[in-house]
Amino acid sequence: MSQSDPKLNINSSVRQNVFVRQESIAARQPPIPTRGVLAWINDNLFATPLSGFVTLACIALVALVVPDLIRYLFIDAIWSAEDGVPCRVEGTGACWAFVERKLSFFVYGSYPREMVWRVNLTLLMGALLVGWLLIPRLPAKRLASVLFFIAYPVAGYWLAYGFEGVLPKVSTNLWGGVFVSLLVALVGIVMSLPIGIVLALGRRSHMPIVKFVSIVLIEFVRGVPLITVLFMANTMLPLFVPQELTPDRLLRPLIGVSIFTGAYTAETIRAGLQAMPKGQFEGAMSLGLSYWQMMRLIILPQALTMVIPGIVNSFISLFKDTTLVAVVGIFDFLRAIEVARLDPVWAGPSLSTTGYVFAALFYWVFCYSMSRYSQNLEARLAVGRRR
Amino acid sequence: MKRIIATCLIAAAAGMAATSSFAQAGKTLDQIKQRGYLSCGSNPGLAGFGLPDDKGNYAGLDVDLCRAISAAIFDDPNKVKFIPLTAKDRFTALQSGEIDVLARNGTWTQSREADLGLLFAGVNYYDGQGFMIRKKLNVASALKLEGASVCVQQGTTTELNLADYFRSNNIKYEGVVFATSDEALKAYDSGRCDAYTTDASGLYSERLRTVNPDEHMVLPEIISKEPLGPAVRKGDDQWYDIVRWTHFAMVNAEELGVTKANVDEKAKSATPEIKRLLGSEGDFGKAMGLSKDWAYRIVKHVGNYGEVFEKNVGEGSKLKIRRGLNNLWTKGGIQYAPPVR
């Protein structure tokens, strides 16, 4: 460097021993980023030639499908119409006007229109209570569960079905649509847990009759399809019991669905019971707890936590299975759509697609939220076992 | 142990009490009057015959028959509880006593009456298998369908009738079978077949589901017999008569020119047939356990057969089914009712 540098001049004697670089280093290539959008794309989408190829293929597929889908569902769709004529025109997309016009039929079925506030109120109460139970921050869970499991079914029944002298009766043959779908799912879900717990404990019991009955029931119900159970409940039951005692047409599939889901839940819960270490049982017994105390306080809370994914899985499949009640003449949501598209005023080629897209959306929203909630629940309850 | 035995005894006693009350259960009409409504098995969805509208109210030809029965009994067409039944559980529902009458476009056949313990109380719609073709084919008869391809649903009597018909007429055809009627219709609509076949009552509503209904027509040939009518349980002849004569009263009313609009005026008419029908002379309802103006109530609240037909499936509806066989016997059809006297 130049002689005029004051620092170097001071210690000129040391200068010979010091290495000072005379020219600057050539700039190197910047490192491949490990963070940011580009890095993510590189790592996840184009890590290997194969994954790069798959990525491109997927993009091509999306590009092929999505624009048409959007055009069909939104741009070319008919949003309002008086009857099916505009939806019939060649090149039009989904007929949302049909869904809009028939929406009340999809939701309430044949429930008298001047009284649908009763259904709305029932559903609203249910939604609030379910929310209260499911959102962890909210207090007084015990009160909520008493309300939901004991007060709500009675109140909901009175409200929807009617109460002598206060609310006029609306017989169940008029119930339908989303209301019935949710009712079947909710009753199935709520009833299947106690049935499942009792059957699971029964199957592991040492009392031969209890054990035998539980095994027969579980294996019999699991061995036949749900449709068969529904047919049995619907067509055979009335032949066995006297006319006056015949259960209501809507009650029959409810019983069938509860027992069916109960049997599956029982096996899931049994898996949880069997996974419990023996020490837990022995520990509980050595404390002098009775059988029911042991189950209630020690075993079941742990066993049930373990099998939450399995239980939610069977709830999700139950929710979709509710569509099967249509085969015994119950107007559930899907059935309402199928019937509505036959209406000569609306009939047309695009109605089936529109109706089924709408149904798919409904079932997906419900099933996906259940699955998300179960993941959340699992994470919360697994804190104790986290390593 | 004691407790178990006691429980069993109580259950058995309850069962016995219930069975005995079942045996005492009276006649159908008394039950209906006591309970305050008619329980009618209906189709959950067949355009023109039984289909809920936007508000969920049932409408259709079969539905109006049930309303007519209710009108005859209660002087009110709305005291009916419609129970939607699938093809599979319709007969059990009737056998078990869950419904009083099955008006669900059921075909009257020998085995259904002989084996299932049912009685068909009449024919409110003469149906049969027909063909739908494109108008531009310029074919006026099914016999001219030589070499045509026909879309049909698999595994149905429709498929068998089709084969029989073309074989007995020595016509070559190509049957294109599909698992569901939806698929068969779609294939026909997209031009895969020249013709589509199913029961004529269904053809008219299926036609409306094609892309352009005006391009299609239903051929006049009917190649099978499908008499559709209401059914009741065997063993209660009075109830059978009521259902049967409700239909006959509607047909007679049409024949005599009595309509919903002019029934009050006609009740004062001097024609003896009309007087007997509407109850201004004689008391013909009594033997059936009904009032003497039973037929007047039917026509007043629901209408005569022709009106009901036009409103639900005929020119007054979207279906626009021709009367054809279902016209009165005086007008070239086979709807014929014995006289009220």
pLDDT in tens, chain B (341 residues): 445 544 444 444 444 444 433 333 348 999 999 999 999 999 888 899 999 988 889 999 999 999 999 999 999 999 999 998 888 788 988 988 889 999 998 889 998 899 998 999 999 999 999 999 999 999 888 888 999 999 998 877 888 899 999 999 999 999 999 988 888 999 999 999 999 999 988 899 889 888 888 899 999 888 999 999 999 999 999 999 999 999 999 999 999 999 999 999 999 989 999 999 999 888 999 989 999 999 999 999 999 999 999 999 999 998 999 898 999 999 999 999 999 98
Q: CA dist B220 to B131, B140, B315, B322, Å?
A: 8, 8, 17, 10
In whole angstroms, give the CA distance from residue A303 to residue A319: 24
Token pair for B131: 């063909």
Position A165 pLDDT exceeds 50: yes
Return the pLDDT at A374. 84
Cα angle B94-B49-B52, degrees, rounded to a multiple of 5: 90
Place of tokens 């409700």: B246
Stretch A305-328: mean pLDDT: 88
For residue B335, the cross-strand partners are B328
- All residues of chain A having their beta carbon less than 8 Å from the beta carbon of residue B83 are 173, 249, 329
Biggest distance spanned by C-alpha atoms of chain B? 84
Least Cα separation, residue A145 to chain B (angstroms): 32
Return the pLDDT at A12. 57
Q: What domains are defined for chain A?
A: 106-381 (1.10.3720.10)
Return the pLDDT at A159. 92
- All residues of chain A having their beta carbon less than 8 Å from the beta carbon of residue B47 are 342-344, 347
How many other CB atoms are found less than 10 A from the CB of residue A147? 17
How is the beta sheet containing B148-153 ordered, strand by strand? B173-178, B148-153, B195-199, B129-134, B216-218
Mean of the per-residue pLDDT values for chain A?
88
Contact A242 B21 (CB under 8 A): yes
Contact A235 B88 (CB under 8 A): yes
Return the pLDDT at B13. 42
Question: In terms of C-beta distances under 8 Å and separation of at least 24 residues, what long-range contacts does A207-211 make, across chains too?
Answer: none
Contact B95 A104 (CB under 8 A): no
B208 at interface of A, judged by CB pairs closer than 8 A: yes
Q: Please determine whether the domains at B28-126+226-331 and B129-218 fall in the same fold group of CATH.
A: yes
Q: CA dist B5 to A202, A267, A295, B15, B125, Å?
A: 22, 31, 29, 15, 57
Position A387 pLDDT exceeds 80: no
Contact A242 B96 (CB under 8 A): no
Residue A307 near residue A271, CB atoms below 8 Å: yes
Position A233 pLDDT exceeds 50: yes
Least Cα separation, residue A195 to chain B (angstroms): 21
Contact B53 A176 (CB under 8 A): no
Residue to substitute from B49, B66, B86, interface A, most A β-carbons within 10 A: B86
Residue type, A88: R
In whole angstroms, give the CA distance from residue B91 to residue B112: 9
Return the pLDDT at B259. 96
Q: What pLDDT band is residue A9 in, cutting at 50, 70 and 90? A: low
What does pTM read for this prediction?
0.82
Contact A347 B47 (CB under 8 A): yes
B135 at interface of A, judged by CB pairs closer than 8 A: no
A357 at interface of B, judged by CB pairs closer than 8 A: no
Contact B98 A249 (CB under 8 A): yes
Q: What residue segments make up the domains of chain B, in order of their start?
A: 28-126+226-331, 129-218
Query: Is domain B129-218 in CATH 3.40.190.10, yes or no?
Result: yes
CATH (residue range B28-126+226-331)? 3.40.190.10
- For B277-323, the DSSP string reads HHTSSS--SGGGTS-TTHHHHHHHHT--HHHHHHHHTSTTSSS----
**Residue in B19, B53, B89 nearest the CB of A329:** B89
Q: Tell me the residues of chain A between 327 and 346 that have a Cβ less than 8 Å away from chain B.
A: 327-329, 331, 335, 338-339, 342-345
**Residue in A246, A344, A352 nearest the CB of B208:** A344
A246 at interface of B, judged by CB pairs closer than 8 A: yes
- Interface ipTM: 0.81
**Residue in A108, A242, A338 nearest the CB of B22:** A242
Token pair for A367: 């099933």
Burial B204-239 (b: 16+ CB within 10 A, else e): bbbbbbbeebeebbbbebbbbebbbbbbbbeebeeb
